[in-house]
Structure 1
Amino acid sequence: MRLKVTLCGLAVVVALGACTSSPPKHPTFAGGSSAPTTAGSPPPWQEPAAYGFVVERRCAQGPSLGRYRVAVQDGQVVRTERIDGRTAAGEEEIEVPSLGELLTLAQTAADDGGAVTTTFDPADGHPTAVSFSVSGQQDADGSCFLVSEYAPAS
């Protein structure tokens, strides 16, 4: 139920992120899974004070639901720009989360028994893909985010 309320908040309008809580370094999800646990597992990621990234909302082979360039300061999204050349005709823009908020949403879904999949960059441990669903079936009502162009501010 908490995740449904949170997802409704995401679907409202693009606005500044309001959550300032820190996510777990690498959350452990329902079923005992967490970050890939191979010999080359990524280091624990800590959200930097300032960074930018590009995120695409897309599940599996489905259509893109938007591509955004995002700037984050102190855990809050301070700027979002839709960069796919489309407008949200017939759909509502979302409030794009910071990477920390995205991991928190995934942890909430896992805590509520939902299906969660994450991948992390092997070099620095930042999330590169996060998918979660309340129902446990990601294609049915899932939220999927593909992260690229991650760059901590220098």
Structure 2
Amino acid sequence: MRFAPLLCGIALVAAVAACTDEPPAASAPSPTAPASTPVWHEPMNYAYVVDRRCETGPSDGIYRVTVRGREVAAIERTDGKIASGEEEIDLPTLGGLLELAQTAADDGGEMTTSADPADGHPVAVSFDVSEGAGERTCFVITEYAVQG
């Protein structure tokens, strides 16, 4: 019976704890994590409009890009301008654009991307492959539409 005093002590503490006048504390509501942007998977067929500009700088061209089978099928300049002093660029798919930005980052350059919170497709991609020269390449993506 050497455990009897110990058991009585535990019973006494439990009885005193149960007889308090204070109601049990309500648990604090747990904070909900903000919804994260979904992971984007490049569809087989889609179209998008891209403006080659950084922040509020001037546009270097606005293009509609059509992708079929994850390959660029058509590029149409839509801003009515004609490239002067430079050749028209070959625009990649959105997946290719993200790869270009990642390659720049892997090579020590800077890269930033923004994604649509609804489906995760890129809405802005910029990168700088030069060291300190500040020759940033930027793309603002709009009118993204998956096609059948």
Q: TM-score range by the shorter chain?
A: 0.7 to 0.9
TM-score when normalising by structure 1: 0.71
Structure 1 runs, 4 residues or longer, greater than 6 Å off: none
Structure 2: distance between partners of 1:41 and 1:111:
25
Gap regions ≥5 residues in structure 1: 1-37
Deviation at 1:60, TM superposition (A): 2.2
Determine if the alignment matches structure 1 residue 66 to structure 2 residue 100.
Answer: no
Q: 1:19: which partner in 2?
A: none
Deviation at 1:51, TM superposition (A): 0.2
Determine if the alignment matches structure 1 residue 134 to structure 2 residue 129.
Answer: yes
Structure 1: distance between partners of 2:107 and 2:84:
32
Structure 1: distance between partners of 2:131 and 2:72:
28
Q: What is the CA deviation profile of residues 7-32 of structure 1, one whole-angstrom value per residue up to 9, with x for unaligned ones?
A: xxxxxxxxxxxxxxxxxxxxxxxxxx
Gap regions ≥5 residues in structure 2: 1-32
- The residue identity in structure 2 corresponding to 1:73 is R
Q: 2:29: which partner in 1?
A: none
Aligned-partner SS, 1:101: helix
Aligned mate of 2:40, from 45, 53, 62: 45
RMSD of aligned C-alpha atoms?
Answer: 1.5
Matched-pair identity in %: 56
Aligned mate of 1:92, from 87, 111, 117: 87
Aligned-partner SS, 1:141: coil
Give the length in aligned residue pairs.
116
